A and B are shown apart, each in its own frame.
Chain A
């Protein structure tokens, strides 16, 4: 089969020299199951250190240790520092004994988080099925994306690794397989800048020499428990019958046997980043009457509706938030029969919730939002009673389009025209 070059991304026969015929790179992928696997684990290499080196070229060729924060332990060691034996979670004084000339950098979590999110966004360009494990690693399920990308997952991932290097300036290691824990084993197998594949045919042989502790969910204690019964390597488990292991260790044994045979049914579970969408405003003077509050509520509902539509989301629980003039918070919520992204629906519910709170109290803040988020596809179908849902949703989408074309003030609801100006209004979204 033709080999895929990770540097110039071409497919060609490498010939006897095992190098890319176009760019002479030795970084080739020619695994026989390369184009059949679609579950990946992507892990950034010495992430914090890599970001610091990117931002400060002077330390690029020096051993760099990120750490020394509050706890005085190594958070991340770059690969040069690792040559000297420095490891993560090692006490700082010990690390500096091993590598006295290391450059110590205090962690800048805000920066790493930013870079992590940039990389996450790039992952989401590949597939919506991205399950972040931490700031710098994630599982990706690329099944069924071949048509979309015009290339099999392995090719797409190689392209991704190169894109991260080129655009972000840090390197990643990719593990490709058919199950989560195998993908993770693979990405660990060849670091840094790795691309490793574990195929179905070789899985037994690849797992056999590893210690039982390499399996997910087996910590030090259970590994010792299994070792005491004679199971030190995965090969020891592969040798026995599943039912035998299940008798010996119960459900754990059952699970362990499956993992040792490369069976792992856990799916890639994408995370929903937003848990709610809302908008709120603080008034310049405290307000108690419906007359003044309702137009503001409508305006906020419009804003929330627009945000929901922009992010292809819908919410099923409407949350009204009020803050009294003496800073006491009141939140009230109402769950709907189906998710919505209609401002009109939010307003209808929000108005009822608000009316119950109007007892003469003066409010300094009013907010409305939705939680319990769903896909936009699940929203506003309406039913036998609510027959206007679908048309209402379409109307609001049309209003969005008009605003996009003619500007924000092009169309508005009559009620909003009465809203007072709030020069010092604040908005929030979480």
Chain B
């Protein structure tokens, strides 16, 4: 293999793929990135056996071929080369090394044979559709925080992506929950998504998708099978295994009849929660909300350190209520909202609360109260 590429294009592409590679690997080949040169294109591929990212960039291919080299190392090398440089990559035949040359720098890297590189056999994808990059980003960004890290309930370790009916129209929904909070965001169902299987996209894939999609253009292609998801945009293809499990029937925990509506200024509310929670201990992060006519009083009591109280104006006309929430969760949710206000629909101190920008918004959050 012998190929010459532009340093900045290579860096950008390696940046996309190298993150997939785990820093510590017991299987040596998984530390490597696959390089394949042919027909004016250099292809890159990295995998951790659950997730695979490929990317291609234009290259001046003198001699087609393929090899694998340590992913983080080649990324660091290319990163440290001067901007605007040309980089030549060349395998040295029998010795099993790859030579990197740029300006006056030369590196030789140990390689592993291309044939050892695992392939995440994608199998047949049953559904194909495309989604505006911005919408995919929104679906993920607003639900990602609620993904569980708990191993016992592995089926919560991802975002549940599926289609549903809402107000008579088909929607695509992303849902994540860790049992304490739940996020549900929807967008108009793209054509071609009808009948797609509900899939749980694992946490690591979610994190990669969000980083990749940041640089994506207009549309992102999605392909699905019951076991895999593939996302394609520009020259990047991400394929991931899905979590093999059943996502719980989340719809029944979304409260429909909470009749006490509390509306607060979102920024003021978040800042106040943040302030009073300063006093709370590591273990108990509960903030008490005492809601009455036109006002909400936030308070934290920590037997070890003291207490904090702050009053806020609010739009509230129902019967007074006292309810506790984890301060961190309240902040996570208010951060996801877009409008100037946050609307809480409360039932009682022991029941889940609904939080939205406004009633009927396309993103909704459910929060379990804490005992205070």
Q: Are B253 and A349 in contact (CB under 8 A)?
A: no
- A385 → B minimal CB distance (Å): 5
Q: Are B150 and A337 in contact (CB under 8 A)?
A: yes
Of the listed residues A335, A383, A385, A387, the one surrounded by the most CB atoms of chain B closer than 10 A to its CB is: A385
- B252 → A minimal CB distance (Å): 8
Q: Are B177 and A336 in contact (CB under 8 A)?
A: no
Question: What are the residues of chain B within 8 A of A383 when measuring CB–CB?
Answer: 179-180, 368
Assess whether A384 is interfacial by the CB under 8 Å rule. Answer: yes
Minimal Cβ-Cβ distance residue in A for B150: A337
Q: Mark B170-182, 1 if CB is under 8 A from A, else 0.
A: 0000000101111
Assess whether A167 is interfacial by the CB under 8 Å rule. Answer: no
Question: What are the residues of chain A within 8 A of B252 when measuring CB–CB?
Answer: 387
Q: Are A385 and B156 in contact (CB under 8 A)?
A: yes
Assess whether A386 is interfacial by the CB under 8 Å rule. Answer: yes
- A56 → B minimal CB distance (Å): 49
Q: How many angstroms from the CA of A387 to the CA of B352 in the assembled complex?
A: 11
Assess whether B107 is interfacial by the CB under 8 Å rule. Answer: no
Q: How many angstroms from the CA of A349 to the CA of B152 in the assembled complex?
A: 9
Assess whether B248 is interfacial by the CB under 8 Å rule. Answer: yes
* Chain B residues numbered 233-283 whose CB sits less than 8 Å from any CB in chain A: 248, 250, 252-253
Question: What are the residues of chain A within 8 A of B250 when measuring CB–CB?
Answer: 384
Assess whether B366 is interfacial by the CB under 8 Å rule. Answer: yes
B180: contacting residue among A336, A349, A384, CB under 8 A: A384
Assess whether B153 is interfacial by the CB under 8 Å rule. Answer: yes
Q: Mark A326-364, 1 if CB is under 8 A from B, else 0.
A: 000000001111000000000001000000000000000
A336: contacting residue among B152, B156, B253, B352, CB under 8 A: B152
Q: Are A384 and B177 in contact (CB under 8 A)?
A: yes
Minimal Cβ-Cβ distance residue in B for A338: B179
* Chain B residues numbered 324-358 whose CB sits less than 8 Å from any CB in chain A: 352
Interface size class of A (residues with CB under 8 A): 10 to 19
Q: How many angstroms from the CA of A143 to the CA of B290 in the assembled complex?
A: 30
Q: How many angstroms from the CA of A349 to the CA of B150 in the assembled complex?
A: 14
Q: How many angstroms from the CA of A334 to the CA of B152 in the assembled complex?
A: 8
B253: contacting residue among A334, A335, A337, A384, CB under 8 A: A384
Q: How many angstroms from the CA of A36 to the CA of B32 in the assembled complex?
A: 72
Q: How many angstroms from the CA of A336 to the CA of B253 in the assembled complex?
A: 21
Question: What are the residues of chain B within 8 A of A337 when measuring CB–CB?
Answer: 150, 152-153, 179
Minimal Cβ-Cβ distance residue in B for A386: B179
Question: What are the residues of chain B within 8 A of A386 when measuring CB–CB?
Answer: 179
Minimal Cβ-Cβ distance residue in A for B247: A385
Q: How many angstroms from the CA of A123 to the CA of B202 in the assembled complex?
A: 53
- B159 → A minimal CB distance (Å): 15
- A393 → B minimal CB distance (Å): 15
Minimal Cβ-Cβ distance residue in B for A390: B350
Question: What are the residues of chain B within 8 A of A387 when measuring CB–CB?
Answer: 252-253
Of the listed residues A349, A384, A387, the one surrounded by the most CB atoms of chain B closer than 10 A to its CB is: A384
Q: Are B366 and A384 in contact (CB under 8 A)?
A: yes
* Chain B residues numbered 113-171 whose CB sits less than 8 Å from any CB in chain A: 150, 152-153, 156
Q: Are B152 and A385 in contact (CB under 8 A)?
A: no
Q: Mark A373-386, 1 if CB is under 8 A from B, else 0.
A: 00000000001111
Minimal Cβ-Cβ distance residue in B for A383: B179
Question: What are the residues of chain A within 8 A of B150 when measuring CB–CB?
Answer: 337
Minimal Cβ-Cβ distance residue in A for B371: A381
Question: What are the residues of chain A within 8 A of B177 when measuring CB–CB?
Answer: 384-385
Minimal Cβ-Cβ distance residue in B for A352: B152
Question: What are the residues of chain A within 8 A of B181 when measuring CB–CB?
Answer: 384
Q: How many angstroms from the CA of A1 to the CA of B322 in the assembled complex?
A: 45
Question: What are the residues of chain A within 8 A of B153 when measuring CB–CB?
Answer: 337, 385
Q: How many angstroms from the CA of A353 to the CA of B181 in the assembled complex?
A: 28
Question: What are the residues of chain B within 8 A of A335 when measuring CB–CB?
Answer: 152
Q: Mark A184-209, 1 if CB is under 8 A from B, else 0.
A: 00000000000000000000000000
Question: What are the residues of chain B within 8 A of A336 when measuring CB–CB?
Answer: 152
- A28 → B minimal CB distance (Å): 37
Q: How many angstroms from the CA of A335 to the CA of B248 in the assembled complex?
A: 20
Q: Are A384 and B368 in contact (CB under 8 A)?
A: yes
Q: How many angstroms from the CA of A320 to the CA of B179 in the assembled complex?
A: 25
Question: What are the residues of chain B within 8 A of A384 when measuring CB–CB?
Answer: 177, 179-182, 250, 253, 352, 366, 368
Q: How many angstroms from the CA of A384 to the CA of B153 in the assembled complex?
A: 13
Q: How many angstroms from the CA of A385 to the CA of B150 in the assembled complex?
A: 12
Q: How many angstroms from the CA of A337 to the CA of B152 in the assembled complex?
A: 8
- A337 → B minimal CB distance (Å): 5
- B88 → A minimal CB distance (Å): 51
Nearest 8 CB-CB pairings of A with B:
A383-B179, A385-B179, A384-B253, A385-B248, A384-B179, A384-B182, A337-B150, A384-B177
